[in-house]
Amino acid sequence: MLAVVLLEAKLNLWGDSVFSQKAIFNYLFSKDRGVVRVKKPEEVKTAKNNVTTLDFIGLVEKNGYSAEEHYTITEDGYILVLHRLLGNPLFKDQRSRKVVFLQHGLLCTSDCWVIFGAGKDLAFLLADKGYDVWIGNNRGNAYCQSHIKISPQNKEFWQFSYHEIAMRDLPAMIDFILRYTKQKNLHYIGHSMGTTILFTLLSMKPEYNAKIRLGICLAPVAIWKEISPLLEHFRSKMPKIMEFLESNGMYEIASLSSTSIRIGRTLCTDKAITQPICAAVIFVIAGSDPVQLNTTAMPEVFSYAPAGISLQTIRHFYQNIITQKFQALDNGYLDNYKKYKQKTPIMYDLKKVTAPLALYYSVNDLLASKSNVLEIYKYLPNVILLEENPYKLFNHLDFLWAIDAKTLLYDRLMKLLQEMNIKLVFFIFMLTAALLEAKLNLWTNLTHSQKVILNYLFPKDPDIVRVRKPEEIQTVNNVTTLDFVGLVERYGYPTEEHYVTTEDGYILVIHRILGSPLSTGHQRKKIVFLQHGIICSSDCWVMIGAEKDLAFLLADGGYDVWLGNLRGTSYCRSHIKISPRSKEFWQFSYHEMGIRDLPAMIDYILSYTKQQSLHYIGHSMGTTTLFILLSMRPEYNAKIKLGICLAPIAIWKERIPLPELIFNNLSKIKEFLYSNEIYEVASLSSTSITVGRTLCSNKAITQAVCIAIIFLIAGSDPKQLNIVEILSNYPDGASVQTFEHYIQNIITKKFQTYDYGYVGNYNKYGQVLPLIYDLKKVTIPLAIFYGANDMVALKPNVLETYKYLPNVILLEENHYKLFNHLDFLWAIDAKTLLYDRVLDLLQKFDNQVWIIDDELTYV
């Protein structure tokens, strides 16, 4: 405060009065704010008579995002400002986005969610994931100092606490957002007092529970079992302090003013010797965390916070601290009776808060202490997650402004949102599928919903007919779909179908595109072998059509294109001895595909074409099987000239966003499936095709659900999805053991063989532990293509795999930031976004042209 006094004196902000009193009062209780909001960074100033700072729109637009400002009026006349972050500039299609509503805490505004910028603040990260982000402002903050009748200079304006904010502001904003977006519910994320008002609203107006899909509470505040040393210091003094303030006409505390902004921009800069004092003030209030405090950004933070609150709100929190109860403001017996119809304040009943909640807290938070959060947790009936931050110094303000907030908190938070969406979308989808089944009379008796779900995910009788002419396709009575030959020949390309038997008796189908109408008479180039990923078949490379699919483009380029099918797909359900209805048929994972299917197909192709080597292009599991083959049978490195890996999967440094239930109950899930004689997952069937053609068509209102399921699995990319073309030939099945093998590797974070247990491992591998696949034995030249938005082949996992591969000639992230796992196959603009680069790489490799240019980045 001495530094503040000196600054005030230096700037000559006061006349002949006592400096210290006026400096303190103008900082904490400024009546003349003198702040001008601007929208362009170059207009920000700190001049003596002109202090300017960016408004919310300016903060957002300087990062290349767009924003909107909306207004709503509460039932008691306060005019509230709502902000909306329209989306990542890469998102062109803004339809069907889930609404996330962010609500600030004490002394903040909507600005507090966007101060640090894109890639850091939660609001921007949510927009990057495709959410429709709305941000609220409470009465009395810097944006909400308007009323239809009362001036903020009037005492009456400030006669509110968080009770009124919860009972009037919050429902007004929620109702406005839902009405404007035509949604029925939203995700709610609140920080500090933003959680207090949520608990208050849902306990006092329980009907609003139905409007909250998920409530995420950051540093939740409600019941005060213990308080920080700072609050303890002021505890006994608060009544006199508040009496003094009211007697001097002070009804608002710590508003955003020219003085507070000047102090932040002058005393808290990196060059100021007083900067440690600024940091110390933060640490005394919120908890000490010097590692995560961005001291350089403190002047920026103090340009937007503190942003004001009524003195009555402070009194309300103080009363709750003293009584250790979560209750309404105590106005005295008489006024309580007038307001609440009883002499004592109303208790907020947390048992009425039935919306699903996730509570995030930290041990170093001095305002939302661990013991207080755990006390709140006892009374809430539907907490789906209670999580202590693993970083032990995480404090109250780190939830908003920690340097590493993304990795310390936000990534997990967004993963939770995604998991909630998966559960909800799956439920809606299967309910709709059940109604469709009923309408089509596909079942005649017994438990209807169970049969729908089981037949969609685990059909024992696929009941489909493959045809080769488009006019033979039908859905009613007899479900038919084009086979590979039909898919290719409809565009005038000649094809062949070949068969090979593995050493353990599985009969595999290999497809070949003989040539292209565009390359007739040209000398054929090298062999390119395409290998599909999980729950795919050779169809996945040719479903979209000529001049779009990679297989057609390679044929147009003169390559001899072969396409493999792995055991268990709709083309490879035959064995020389075992029926696919037998459990024994399905006792394989991608290990057997890698060491048996892949070498059988490669040897057949090379023998048939009289060649000694080929180019290999694999997607997803098609790369997993390649790595396994070359590490377990290194002699096959000589048979592959170049391996192109699209969305490669091997080492799992990070988990994919599956519900923890799957990881924690793997053995129970397998036991349940096997006890019901279910050994295969998501095969191509009449049910899956019918659902795809009916529920996912352009005319179906349920198409949005189909799209949501794909995005939740693969990554959201509304601009590049062409859903109509794919669901007649996808998904195409995989063994339960294949999925189990992946989950085992995800849990162990190792690239190793299937774990049968000590005895089973010893019988199969000659050792009690699974074998580790040695990637250093993969010596062929490899080109790795990945997408930053791929939710299956996550970027950190791809980079971890890259570390162990000795001969990677190209490691490239797709420049389109929304490129997801299935875009490698079916993006509308896959040719320009990826395939042109793949073809260019093949051509340069065959011509031995090795240069670094603007199009390819070699390593």
User: Active-site residue numbers?
Assistant: 192, 396
- What is the rounded distance in angstroms from the CA atom of residue 787 to the CA atom of residue 812? 9
Provide DSSP, 815-838: SSTT--TTHHHH-TTHIIIIIHHH
Structure tokens at 167: 């009972």
Q: Give the other-Cβ count within 10 Å of 440's Cβ.
A: 14
Structure tokens at 417: 């949102």
Structure tokens at 421: 């969406």
Answer whether 327's CB lies under 8 Å from 247's CB: no
Q: What is the 3-state secondary structure (H, E, C) of 301-346?
A: HCCCCCCCEEHHHHHHHHHHHHHCCCECCCCCHHHHHHHHCCCCCC
- What is the rounded distance in angstroms from the CA atom of residue 115 to the CA atom of residue 405? 13
Burial letters 359-376, b for 16+ CB under 10 A, else e: bbbbbbbbbbbeebbebb
- What is the rounded distance in angstroms from the CA atom of residue 83 to the CA atom of residue 114? 11
- What is the rounded distance in angstroms from the CA atom of residue 400 to the CA atom of residue 105? 10
Answer whether 64's CB lies under 8 Å from 56's CB: no
Provide DSSP, 44-99: --EETTEEEEE-HHHHHHTTT-EEEEEEEE-TTSEEEEEEEEEE-TT----TTPPE
- What is the rounded distance in angstroms from the CA atom of residue 498 to the CA atom of residue 506? 14
Omega within 30 of 0 (cis) for the link into 306:
yes
- What is the rounded distance in angstroms from the CA atom of residue 597 to the CA atom of residue 45? 69
H-run or E-run covering 604? helix 598-609
As to burial, measured by CB atoms within 10 angstroms (0-12 exposed, 13-18 middle, 19+ buried), residue 379 is middle
Answer whether 612's CB lies under 8 Å from 622's CB: no
Strands 78-87 and 66-73, by their bridges, are: antiparallel
Q: What is the largest CA-CA distance in the chain?
A: 103
- What is the rounded distance in angstroms from the CA atom of residue 566 to the CA atom of residue 509? 8
Q: Give the other-Cβ count within 10 Å of 485's Cβ.
A: 18
Answer whether 808's CB lies under 8 Å from 645's CB: no
Q: Where are the alpha helices (DSSP H) in 129-274?
A: 162-164, 170-181, 193-204, 229-235, 238-247, 258-267
Answer whether 647's CB lies under 8 Å from 787's CB: yes
User: Smallest Cα–Cα separation from 696: which of 425, 459, 383, 512?
Assistant: 425
Unique residue bearing structure tokens 């503190």: 306
- What is the rounded distance in angstroms from the CA atom of residue 274 to the CA atom of residue 217? 34
Q: Which residues pair with 204 in a beta bridge?
A: none
Structure tokens at 314: 């402070």
Q: What is the DSSP letter of 594?
A: I
Rounded to 5 degrees, φ, ψ at 243 are -65, -45
Tell me, what amino acid is at 787? G
As to burial, measured by CB atoms within 10 angstroms (0-12 exposed, 13-18 middle, 19+ buried), residue 274 is middle
